[in-house]
């Protein structure tokens, strides 16, 4: 099994490839052990100046966005405890992703911010306001990665005995999104805020609606707390590739993250996603698909290979198995290193389990040691090592052969891996017409799709708008109990 993806014969394509940087508010995100490398600055994650520098760098490289992953639990599947994860800083300690965004927005003009939060642990009402706040403060540059969680430790620490079953988590997320769409799209009309100084009316109450949500999991009768932000609904990102996950993505996502290790798996996944988008009544290209990948590059092939070897000397295969055990929901410490994972039950990331039960890039079987080597730098996606030209060839080949739209780039060291990509790969792709020469104007949604700031009419969320087919707004209720209503004589809106 080879780790470094070599380029085959190239058919140059001129499709513009999209790029996000993939990061997390922690140390060495998906490259365990690399925090020890002298060039790695990830231990500065507690410092706003560090994040501001990273945002400026990514905007210089015309990245579409910085995507910030998150978990609310520890990786305690490996060895059935959290010792190895804590020792190796496997995404622990980990800080909140949302709080980073305002500072980075202040020092950039175009970079998008994809923040991750789970649907299982926080009520949608306060979350809706936090996201609207960020969308205001960034002038419409926020995306939200909707995750349903995979770490049982997160559920346990939020008062549950275990996380709900895999598909039930998506059912719950369906209602979570319904509440959010109602708040973001259906509560405040665009012209509700009038700031009429003469009449002393800041907001017209007739244009602010109670959403009247009463569901299986949530009761949210009232209005959204924020006035409409540039995008209203943030750009919806999603990352599940199981059958239920893809169905959820097809109904909601505008950007979909995959972590396919091979082109064969990615091709199959992309085909399935595009088919499901059509079945959901959407254009098959209405969601951009980004595959997780890691690039190690330098001025020459030799220098890139030397850099790779040097990075590997800091890597930590056991740390990789800590991650893989968490993602797969399978304790890999219980296997021999030369054993395949075979048939196992999982309540975590089903697509991760399936990927490592499929053929490896050489058509062979993945043994546990292969998985550790594969995931050591950058996690589950492919690792591409080479000069700028070679890496550009490979990326274009993946796009050409799999129909993927772009890549979520994980780092070996940060910000070095991103800086190297910007210095060596971006000029080659730009020269070939495969990289955006300048940012499109406006919000993140407009930059990605060029169709304005708001959700397109055919998107599920748009159907909750005032006057839309799923609009649920109710007449403004009196907050006074009916027995004393006549005494207080609270007016209703009369609509």
Ligand X SMILES: Cc1cc2nc3c(=O)[nH]c(=O)nc-3n(C[C@H](O)[C@H](O)[C@H](O)COP(=O)(O)O)c2cc1C
- Short-list 193, 195, 118, 191, CA closest to 160: 118
Please say whether the beta carbons of 468 and 184 come within 8 A.
no
Q: Is the peptide bond before 158 cis (omega within 30 degrees of 0)?
A: no
Residue of this chain nearest to ligand X (CB atom): 245
Instruction: Tell me how far, at minimum, the Cβ of 27 lies from ligand X, in Å.
Output: 15
State the minimum distance, in angstroms, from the CB of residue 26 to ligand X.
Answer: 11
Smallest gap from Cβ 190 to ligand X, in A, equals 32
Among 77, 100, 173, 349, binds ligand X (CB under 6 A): 349
Residues 6 or more apart in contact with residue 247 via CB below 8 angstroms: 170, 276, 280
Smallest distance, Å, CB 402 to ligand X?
15
Number of residues that bind ligand X (CB under 6 A): 22
With CB under 6 A as the contact rule, the residue among 233, 351, 396, 446 that binds ligand X is: 351
Choices 31-39, 177-185, 344-352, 475-483; region in contact with ligand X by CB under 6 A: 344-352
Tell me if 134 sits within 8 A of 142, measured CB to CB: yes
Give whichever of 266 and 292 is closer to ligand X, judged by the CB atom. 292
Beta bridge partners of 18: 406
The answer to whether 147 contacts ligand X (rule: CB under 6 A) is yes
The pair of structure tokens assigned to 179 is 């509440």
The nearer residue to ligand X, 186 or 326, going by C-beta atoms, is 326
Q: Check residue 378 and give left, alpha or beta (phi > 0: left; psi -120 to 50: alpha).
A: left
Q: In the Cβ-directed half-sphere of 377, how many Cα atoms lie within 13 Å? A: 25
Question: In sequence order, what are the residues at sequence separation of 6 or more whose Cβ sits closer than 8 angstroms to the Cβ of residue 318?
Answer: 32, 84, 88, 372
Per-residue x/- mask for ligand X, residues 41 to 80, rule CB under 6 A?
----------------------------xxx---------
Residue 97 Cβ, how far from ligand X at the closest point, in Å? 8
**Helix (H/G/I), strand (E/B), else coil: 393:** helix
Q: Compute the distance between CA of residue 63 and CA of residue 110 in angstroms, rounded to an integer.
A: 9
When asked if residue 27 is in the footprint of ligand X (CB under 6 A), the reply is no
How many residues belong to the chain? 495
Q: Per CB under 6 A, which of residues 105..144 are in contact with ligand X?
A: 116, 118
Shortest Å, Cβ 285 to ligand X: 20
With CB under 6 A as the contact rule, the residue among 65, 143, 149, 326 that binds ligand X is 149
Task: List the one residue out of 178, 182, 29, 183 whose CA is nearest residue 97.
Answer: 29
What minimum distance in Å lies between the beta carbon of 22 and ligand X? Answer: 7
Query: Of the candidates 21, 153, 179, 259, which one interacts with ligand X according to CB under 6 A?
Result: 259
Contact flag: residue 402 with ligand X (CB under 6 A) = no
CA atoms of 288 and 304, how far apart (whole Å): 29
Kindly give, in sequence order, each residue whose CB lies less than 8 Å from that of residue 409, ignoring residues fewer than 6 positions away.
Answer: 19, 20, 21, 22, 293, 294, 295, 417, 418, 421
CB of 116 to ligand X, least distance (A): 4
- Residue nearer to ligand X on the CB measure, 116 or 231: 116
Comparing CB distances to ligand X, the nearer of 149 and 234 is 149
Residues within the interface to ligand X (CB under 6 A): 69-71, 116, 118, 147-150, 166, 239-242, 245, 257-259, 292, 349-351
């Amino acid at each position: 099994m080879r780790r470094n993806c070599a380029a085959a014969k190239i058919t140059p394509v001129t499709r513009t490839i999209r790029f996000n940087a993939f990061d997390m508010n922690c140390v060495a995100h998906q490259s365990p052990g690399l925090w020890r490398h002298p060039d790695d600055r990830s231990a500065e994650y507690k410092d706003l100046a560090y994040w501001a520098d990273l945002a400026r760098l990514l905007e210089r490289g015309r990245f579409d966005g910085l995507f910030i992953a998150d978990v609310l639990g520890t990786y305690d599947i490996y060895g059935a405890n959290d010792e190895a994860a804590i020792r190796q800083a496997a995404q622990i300690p980990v800080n909140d992703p949302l709080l980073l965004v305002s500072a980075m927005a202040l020092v950039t003009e175009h970079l998008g911010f994809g923040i991750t939060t789970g649907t299982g642990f926080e009520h949608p009402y306060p979350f809706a306001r936090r996201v609207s706040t960020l969308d205001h403060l960034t002038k419409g540059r926020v995306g939200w990665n909707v995750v349903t969680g995979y770490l049982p430790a997160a559920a346990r620490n939020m008062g549950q005995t275990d996380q709900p079953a895999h598909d039930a988590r998506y059912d719950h997320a369906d209602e979570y999104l319904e509440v959010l769409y109602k708040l973001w799209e259906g509560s405040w009309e665009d012209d509700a805020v009038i700031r009429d100084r003469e009449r002393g009316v800041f907001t017209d109450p007739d244009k602010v609606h109670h959403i009247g949500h009463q569901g299986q999991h949530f009761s949210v009768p009232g209005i959204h707390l924020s006035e409409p932000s540039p995008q209203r609904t943030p750009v919806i990102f999603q990352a599940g590739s199981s059958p239920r996950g893809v169905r959820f993505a097809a109904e909601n996502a505008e950007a979909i993250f995959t972590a396919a290790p091979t082109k064969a798996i990615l091709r199959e996944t992309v085909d399935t996603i595009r088919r499901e988008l059509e079945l959901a009544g959407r254009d098959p290209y209405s969601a951009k698909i980004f595959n997780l990948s890691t690039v190690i590059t330098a001025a020459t092939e030799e220098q890139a290979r030397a850099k790779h070897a040097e990075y590997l000397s800091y890597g930590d295969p056991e740390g990789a198995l800590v991650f893989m055990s968490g993602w797969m929901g399978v304790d890999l410490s219980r296997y021999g290193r030369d054993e395949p994972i075979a048939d196992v039950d999982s309540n975590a990331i089903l697509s991760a389990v399936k990927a490592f039960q499929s053929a490896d890039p050489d058509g062979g079987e993945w043994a546990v040691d292969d998985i550790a080597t594969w995931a050591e730098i950058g996690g589950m996606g492919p690792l591409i090592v080479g000069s700028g030209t070679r890496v550009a060839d490979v990326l274009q080949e993946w796009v050409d052969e799999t129909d993927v739209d772009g890549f979520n780039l994980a780092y070996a060291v940060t910000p070095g891996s991103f800086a190297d990509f910007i210095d060596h790969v971006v000029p080659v792709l730009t020269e070939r017409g495969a990289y955006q020469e300048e940012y499109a104007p406006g919000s993140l949604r407009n930059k990605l799709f060029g169709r304005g700031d708001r959700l397109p009419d055919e998107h599920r969320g748009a159907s909750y708008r005032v006057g839309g087919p799923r609009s649920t707004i109710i007449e403004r209720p009196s907050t006074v109990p009916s027995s004393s209503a006549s005494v207080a004589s609270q007016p209703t809106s009369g609509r």
